[in-house]
């Protein structure tokens, strides 16, 4: 399955296919004719899939790996000097290539390194986590974290190619499968009632597996359309933030130590829809359907804190400018919209424990 992302000079293709990793070099050759490649990966992914990739590339290219510790801490700004040093050691020039082989952490970090090293080196994304396959590898947002917050230094930098092999998810831990399913459910909620019904029709992730390439394709295509309309995130792309206002707040409230991002967004999607139903901004019964799907795919839907306590943290959210909040709500499953609001939306229900 192939998806073409049409962004003028920054256009690229995304391929989604089981066992694609075994044939990655064929696809890479079609977009890259330079000499040197640095594969950036992490110490959980590279031992599983690194050789499979580098062996295919070794006959045509000078190819080296840079294997970093796994986890969000690696996406720190302070990791960058080591990445630039590895790029210099590998003699990567502007006509060479960086391949990001890993989850969203590696994709974002390697992507930012590619956008900034020598003012831009070609980038190919080979996402290996569900979240990276359906979300972070598509759309061109790349970033690193500062001690003051996540993704504070970044760029819009489109890859030349994205290769998605759903079979690599067989080795992904269930927590990260759940996390990625949060994003899949989000796509169904905001844009695709049919996708949501497919998710409702299965009883677990295991059951859904045979539909996975098609489901990933659907999610990526939704993101493609949104990104094509709003490459630089000034309008429609905001719809992708469904569940994120409360989600970020929950993450901040627990200092990123309890719920993962996907889990926090899952709670956010359900709870914002419940509140919006009370305000007659969302069709009745919508939040109940979200709740059932979250349960099916092992995601939480409540966090046990009152809204007034959480809203103290909302004030710090970077998307909250001049006390204005652009809330993403559902008219119904599959239809989302931007609802300009303020903190009052939450304070009105301050005593509600979500
Ligand atoms: N750029 C964007 O648009 C965008 C969108 C959403 C999230 N993100 C970013 O993505 C990051 C989170 O991504 P993530 O959830 O993929 O985290 P991650 O990259 O840390 O991967 C999760 C864990 O799974 C392991 N892993 C990955 N693929 C595996 C596989 N196939 N088999 C076994 N283990 C595997 C990794 O080593 C890691 O320990 C965050 O930093 C977030 O800010 C970016």
Is the pLDDT reported for residue 47 higher than 60?
yes
Closest C-alpha residue for ligand 1 atom 5: 136
Cross-strand bridge partners of residue 145: 76
Closest C-alpha residue for ligand 1 atom 33: 172
Mutate to test the pocket of ligand 1, among 41, 44, 182, 233 (most ligand atoms within 8 A of CB): 44
Lowest mean pLDDT among 169-178, 210-219, 299-308, 342-351: 342-351
Domain with residues 2-171, CATH architecture: 3-Layer(aba) Sandwich (3.40)
Mutate to test the pocket of ligand 1, among 5, 40, 45, 182 (most ligand atoms within 8 A of CB): 45
What token pair was written down for 329? Answer: 């709500």
Please identify, by atom number, the ligand 1 atom nearest to the C-alpha of residue 138: 3
Owner of token pair 């969000």: 72
CA terminus-to-terminus distance, the chain:
40
> How far, in Å, CA of 89 to CA of 116, rounded?
16
pLDDT level of residue 188 (50, 70, 90 thresholds): very high
- Report the separation in Å between the CA atom of 24 and the middle of ligand 1, taken as the mean of its atom positions: 20
Q: Which residues of 61-93 are buried (b: 16+ CB within 10 A; e: fewer)?
A: bebbbbbbebeeebbeeebbeebeebbeebebe
> How far, in Å, CA of 349 to CA of 354, rounded?
10
Position 345 scores a pLDDT of 87
Axis crossing angle, helix 174-191 with helix 261-278, rounded to the nearest 10: 30
Is the pLDDT reported for residue 6 higher than 60?
yes
What token pair was written down for 180? Answer: 């990625």
Q: Which of 214, 149, 204 lies closest to 178, judged by CA? A: 204
CB neighbourhood size of 24 (10 A): 22
Please identify, by atom number, the ligand 1 atom nearest to the C-alpha of residue 74: 20
Position 338 scores a pLDDT of 94
Which whole number is the average pLDDT over 27-41? 97
- Report the separation in Å between the CA atom of 164 and the middle of ligand 1, taken as the mean of its atom positions: 14
The domain segmentation of the chain, as residue ranges, is 2-171, 174-347
- Report the separation in Å between the CA atom of 279 and the middle of ligand 1, taken as the mean of its atom positions: 36
Q: What integer best gives the mean pLDDT of the chain?
A: 93
Please identify, by atom number, the ligand 1 atom nearest to the C-alpha of residue 183: 6
Is the pLDDT reported for residue 319 higher than 80?
no
Asked: is 174-347 a CATH 2.60.450.10 domain? The reply is no
- Report the separation in Å between the CA atom of 194 and the middle of ligand 1, taken as the mean of its atom positions: 27
- Report the separation in Å between the CA atom of 176 and the middle of ligand 1, taken as the mean of its atom positions: 8
Position 150 scores a pLDDT of 86
Closest C-alpha residue for ligand 1 atom 2: 136
This prediction has a pTM of 0.93
Position 313 scores a pLDDT of 65
Q: Which of 98, 184, 198 lies closest to 142, judged by CA? A: 98
> How far, in Å, CA of 299 to CA of 306, rounded?
20
Position 252 scores a pLDDT of 85
Q: Which residues line ligand 1 (CB under 6 A)?
A: 42, 44-45, 48, 70-72, 75, 102-106, 108, 128-129, 131-132, 135-136, 139, 141, 150-151, 168-169, 171-172, 176, 179
Three-class HEC string of 134-199? HHHCCCCEEEEEECCEEEEEEEECCCCEEEECHHHHHHCCHHHHHHHHHHHHHHHHHHCHHHHHHH
């Amino acid at each position: 399955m192939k998806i073409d992302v049409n962004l003028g000079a920054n256009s690229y293709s995304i391929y989604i296919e089981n066992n694609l990793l075994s044939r990655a070099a064929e696809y890479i050759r079609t977009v890259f004719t330079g000499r040197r490649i640095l594969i950036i990966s992490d110490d959980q992914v590279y031992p599983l899939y690194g050789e499979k990739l580098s062996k295919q590339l070794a006959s045509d290219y000078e190819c080296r790996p840079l294997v970093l510790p796994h986890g969000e801490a690696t996406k720190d700004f302070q990791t960058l000097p080591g990445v630039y040093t590895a790029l210099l050691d590998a003699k990567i020039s502007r006509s060479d290539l960086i391949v990001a082989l890993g989850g969203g952490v590696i994709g974002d970090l390697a992507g930012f390194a590619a956008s900034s090293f020598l003012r831009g080196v070609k980038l190919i994304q080979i996402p290996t986590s569900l979240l990276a396959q359906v979300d972070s590898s598509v759309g061109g947002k790349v970033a690193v974290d500062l001690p003051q917050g996540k993704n504070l230094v970044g760029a819009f930098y489109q890859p030349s190619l994205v290769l998605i092999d759903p079979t690599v998810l067989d080795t992904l831990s269930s927590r990260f499968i759940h996390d990625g399913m949060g994003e899949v459910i989000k796509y169904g909620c905001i844009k695709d009632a049919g996708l949501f019904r497919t998710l409702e029709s299965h009883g677990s992730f295991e059951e859904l597996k045979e539909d996975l390439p098609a489901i990933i394709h659907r999610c990526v295509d939704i993101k493609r359309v949104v990104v094509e309309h709003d490459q630089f995130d000034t309008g429609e792309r905001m719809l992708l933030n469904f569940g994120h206002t409360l989600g970020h707040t929950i993450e901040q409230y627990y200092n990123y130590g309890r719920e993962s991002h996907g889990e926090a967004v899952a709670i956010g999607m359900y709870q914002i829809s419940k509140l919006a139903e009370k305000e007659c901004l969302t069709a009745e019964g919508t939040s109940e359907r979200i709740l059932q799907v979250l349960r099916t795919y092992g995601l939480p839907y409540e966090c046990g804190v009152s809204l007034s306590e959480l809203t103290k943290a909302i004030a710090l959210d970077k998307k909250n400018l001049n006390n204005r909040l652009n809330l993403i709500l559902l008219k119904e499953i599959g239809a989302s919209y931007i609802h300009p609001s303020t903190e009052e939306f939450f304070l009105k229900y301050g005593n509600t424990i979500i």
